[in-house]
Chains A and B, each alone.
Chain A
Amino acid sequence: MFFRFGAALVLVILIALLGIAIEKRNLALRRSISLQDYRREQLLEQRARLRLETEQLGAPGRLLDEVEAGRLPLEVAEEAESSSVAR
C-alpha cells in the first residue's frame, strides 16, 4: 500500500518536474526568438543605413561631373571588372 502510494507520489512529482522543465524550455526558446527578432531588426536597420550610404556615395549626380571631367579613373575600374569576370 505504502509502495503504491509512494509510486503514485513519485509519478506526480515527475510529471510536475517535467512540466516545469518544458515550461522553462518554452520560455528559453521564446526569449531566444525575441532576441533573434531584435537582432534581425538591428541588422535590417544596419543594412538600410549602409545601403543608403553606398547609394549616396555612388549617386550618378555626384559622380557624373567627375566622370565627364575625366577626374575618375574609369579604366582601372573596368580592368578590375574584367579581371573579376575572367576569374
Chain B
Amino acid sequence: MSDDSHKPVLLRRERLVAAGVVLIWTILAARLVQIQGLQRKEFAHRARRQQTIEQTIPARPGDIFDRSGRLLATTTRAESLFVDPSRIDDPWGVSLSLSEAVHIDSDRLYERIGASRNSRFLWVKRRLSRDEADAVRRLDLPRHCWGLRREYLRQYPQGTLASHVLGLRDIDGIGRGGVEQAFDALLRGRDGTRRLVRDARGFVLDELDQVAQPVEHGQDIHLTLDAVVQTHVEHQLDRLMEEWKPVAVSAVVLDPNSGEIVAMASRPTFDQNDPGAGDGEGWVNRAIAAVSEPGSTFKPLIVAWALDRELLLRDEPFDCEQGEYRMGGRLLHDHHPYGVLSTADVLVKSSNIGMAKIGERLGNERLHTAATAFGFGRKTGVELPGELSGTLRPLPLWTDYSLGSIPMGQELSATPLQVVTAHAVLANGGRMITPHLFASGRHPAPSPRNVVTSRVIGEEAANWVVRVPLVQVVERGTGRKAALEDFQVFGKSGTAQKFDAATGQYSHTRHVCSFVCGAPADDPRLLVLVTVDEPTVGGPHFGGTVAAPAAAQILRRALLYRENRTRFAEDFDDAVPAR
C-alpha cells in the first residue's frame, strides 16, 4: 500500500533529476557550441596571445672605417641594469647596494624607486662596464626585483679622433650628428622579431620561426677620411689652440681632383665615449657650421673668373695708389703702400686697392655671378647634418660699396668647407666637385648623395692662377711661412676682421685668420685650409703668420704619408706577383 503510494512521487523525482541532467548537458553542449563554434576565433586569438610572446632582436649597427680600413666606430654588447620597483621590499637597502656597485648616487636612486613604486620596470643604469655588471651579480639581491638586459654599446677605438665628422649614437642607438646621423638608415639596420611559445609560468617552450621577422644588421661604411692624416691635423689644431689661445680653430684636407675629404677637424671638441663631459661649444663642427667672411682667400677666385671671361689680362698693370684709394665715399687702404702692380702681384701682395679696381671693372652683376659659380651662398652638399650655406646677399641688395668689398672677401660669409671647395676648382683645373665623405666603390649600396661635377672656369685660367700668383704668394708674398723644402706649395692667406655688433663696425682687434694651400703646384694632390677664429695672444694676427705654418705642416705630413703609402704598395705589388 505504502509502496504504491510512493511510486508517483519517485517517478516525479526521477523525471526531475533526468530533466535536470538533460538541462545541465544541454547547457554544457550549448556552451561548447558557443566556445568551439560561435566564439572560436576570439578564444583562439586570446589563447595565442597568452601563449606566445614577441621578442625584438636588435640589429647590430654597422661599423665605420676610414679609407684604409682602420676602424673608427664599432659596436659591442653591454649589459644594462633595471629593477622592478613594485617588488622591492627594501628600497633603501637595494638603492645603497646598487649605487655602490654601479657608481651612481644612492639618494637619487632611492627617490626614483620611490616615485615608481607602482611600475614594473625602471632603468638603473644602462650599458654597464663588465666590472659593474659582475659587481651587481655578486650583490645576490632577490632575483625577482632586478635584471640585466643586453644592449649594444657604440665604441670609438680612436678616441676623440674625428669626433665632429663621426658624431655619436645616443642611449637609444639613434645616430646624432656627423656620419652617424647622416648614414643612420644604412648603419642602424632593422630590428628583427621572433615569436616564442611559453607555458603558464612564462617559461619558453618553442620558437615559432615561421612568423619571425629576420634581423637586418646595419651596413659597414667606408669613409674617405684617413685616420693618420686626421691625427696630424688634430695635433696641429691642438698646438694652435695652445699657442694662440683662439676661440676656435678648424681644418679641412681635401683631394681637389676627387672631392674626397681626407681630414676634417675642429676645436674645441668632445669625447664620443664620454659625451656628457665638456660644454656645448665642443659639439659644433666649425668646418661646416661656422661662417665668417673669407677675406683675402676670396681674391684668387675673382681673378681666375675674370681671366677666364677675358675681362682681365695676366700682365695687366693696376695702379694701387700708394696705399690709399677713394671709392665713392669710402677710403680704401692697403697694408703697405704699393704703386703699379701686375695682376699676379695684386694677389701676391694681397692688395685691396688692386682688387677693388678689378671689382669696378667687373661690376656687381658679374661679381655676383662669379661668387655663385664658386658655390658661395649655398651648401656644398657634403653628407653631414648641420651644414650652413653662408651668406651671399641677393644682387638687388648690393650697392656701390659692394664693388670694393666683395672682391676682397667682405660682405659675404662662408664656411671653411665652402672656401676650400671653391679653391679646389682652381687646383683641379676649373671643375667644381661636391666634397664628400662616403667612399664610393667600396659599398654594395650606391652613395646616398650624388657627387656632382661641373665646370666653372677653363683649365688655362685655373692653372695660371695656381702656378704663378699663388705659388709666388708662398715664395715672396704673405704666405712665406708656408714654404716647404719637399714640395712646391701654392696658397693664399686671409685675414678677416670680425664684425662688432656693439659698434656696428669691423673690429680692429678680433680677426679670423685663415690659410689655404696645396701642393705640388704642377699637379695638386691635396688642399689644406686652416681657420683660426680670434687668436687672443701673441701677434700679429694675420692668416700668413697664424694659420700658414700649421697648414703647411699638415700638407707636408699628409703628402709624405701618401707618398710612403704608394711606395710601400708598389714594393708590395713587386714582391708578390699577381696570381
Residues of A within 8 A of B (CB): 30, 34, 44-45, 48-49, 51-52, 55-56, 59-61, 64, 82, 85-86
A-B contact pairs, 11 of them (CB 8 A): A34-B207, A45-B77, A49-B76, A52-B76, A55-B157, A60-B161, A60-B227, A60-B228, A60-B231, A61-B231, A85-B572
0/1 string, B100-112, CB within 8 A of A gives 1: 0000000000000
**B357 contacts the other chain (CB 8 A):** no
Complex Cα distance A70/B338, Å? 48
A45, A51, A59: which has the most chain B beta carbons within 10 Å? A59
Q: Which residue of B lies closest to A56 (CB)?
A: B157
0/1 string, B54-95, CB within 8 A of A gives 1: 000000100000000011001111000000000000000000
Measured between beta carbons, the chain A residues less than 8 angstroms from B74 are: 48, 51-52, 55
Q: Which of A55, A56, A64 meets B235, CB within 8 Å?
A: A64
Measured between beta carbons, the chain B residues less than 8 angstroms from A51 are: 71, 74
Measured between beta carbons, the chain A residues less than 8 angstroms from B231 are: 60-61, 64
Tell me whether A64 and B232 are in contact (CB under 8 A): yes
Measured between beta carbons, the chain A residues less than 8 angstroms from B572 are: 85
Measured between beta carbons, the chain A residues less than 8 angstroms from B391 are: none
Measured between beta carbons, the chain B residues less than 8 angstroms from A55 are: 70-71, 74, 157-158
Complex Cα distance A85/B572, Å? 7
Complex Cα distance A34/B212, Å? 14
Measured between beta carbons, the chain A residues less than 8 angstroms from B448 are: none
Tell me whether A52 and B157 are in contact (CB under 8 A): yes
B209 to chain A, nearest CB (A): 8
Measured between beta carbons, the chain A residues less than 8 angstroms from B60 are: 44
Complex Cα distance A61/B271, Å? 14
Measured between beta carbons, the chain B residues less than 8 angstroms from A59 are: 157-159, 161, 227
B235 to chain A, nearest CB (A): 7
Count residues of chain B with CB under 8 A from any CB of chain A: 23
A45, A59, A60, A85: which has the most chain B beta carbons within 10 Å? A60
Question: What would 8 more interface pairs be, CB under 8 Å, given A44-B60, A60-B231?
Answer: A30-B207, A48-B74, A51-B74, A52-B71, A55-B70, A55-B158, A59-B157, A59-B158
Measured between beta carbons, the chain A residues less than 8 angstroms from B207 are: 30, 34
Q: Which residue of B lies closest to A85 (CB)?
A: B575
Measured between beta carbons, the chain B residues less than 8 angstroms from A85 are: 572, 575-576
Measured between beta carbons, the chain A residues less than 8 angstroms from B158 are: 55-56, 59-61
9 closest A-B pairs (Cβ-Cβ)?
A55-B157, A55-B71, A85-B575, A60-B231, A56-B157, A60-B228, A59-B158, A61-B231, A48-B76
Q: Which residue of A lies closest to B572 (CB)?
A: A85
Q: Which of A44, A61, A64, A86 meets B159, CB within 8 Å?
A: A61
**B155 contacts the other chain (CB 8 A):** yes
Complex Cα distance A16/B493, Å? 89
0/1 string, B193-237, CB within 8 A of A gives 1: 000000000000001000000000000000000011011101100
A26 to chain B, nearest CB (A): 11
A57 to chain B, nearest CB (A): 9
Q: Which residue of B lies closest to A34 (CB)?
A: B207
A32 to chain B, nearest CB (A): 14
Complex Cα distance A51/B232, Å? 23
Measured between beta carbons, the chain B residues less than 8 angstroms from A49 are: 76
Measured between beta carbons, the chain A residues less than 8 angstroms from B157 are: 52, 55-56, 59
Complex Cα distance A66/B158, Å? 16
B535-579 interface with A by 8 A CB criterion: 572, 575-576
Complex Cα distance A32/B207, Å? 13
Complex Cα distance A85/B230, Å? 29
Complex Cα distance A8/B34, Å? 39
B216 to chain A, nearest CB (A): 15
A30, A44, A52: which has the most chain B beta carbons within 10 Å? A52
Complex Cα distance A44/B75, Å? 10
Complex Cα distance A61/B161, Å? 8
0/1 string, B452-464, CB within 8 A of A gives 1: 0000000000000
Complex Cα distance A59/B157, Å? 7
Measured between beta carbons, the chain B residues less than 8 angstroms from A60 are: 70, 158, 161, 227-228, 230-231
Complex Cα distance A60/B227, Å? 7
Measured between beta carbons, the chain B residues less than 8 angstroms from A61 are: 158-159, 161, 231, 234
Complex Cα distance A60/B72, Å? 11
Complex Cα distance A61/B234, Å? 9
Complex Cα distance A84/B158, Å? 28
Complex Cα distance A52/B154, Å? 11
Measured between beta carbons, the chain B residues less than 8 angstroms from A34 are: 207
Q: Which residue of A lies closest to B71 (CB)?
A: A55
Q: Which residue of A lies closest to B235 (CB)?
A: A64
Q: Knowing A52-B74, A59-B161, A60-B227 touch, does A82 contact B155 (C-beta < 8 A)?
A: no
Complex Cα distance A23/B70, Å? 48
Measured between beta carbons, the chain B residues less than 8 angstroms from A48 are: 74-76
Measured between beta carbons, the chain A residues less than 8 angstroms from B155 are: 52
Complex Cα distance A48/B76, Å? 6
Measured between beta carbons, the chain A residues less than 8 angstroms from B234 are: 61
Complex Cα distance A52/B161, Å? 15
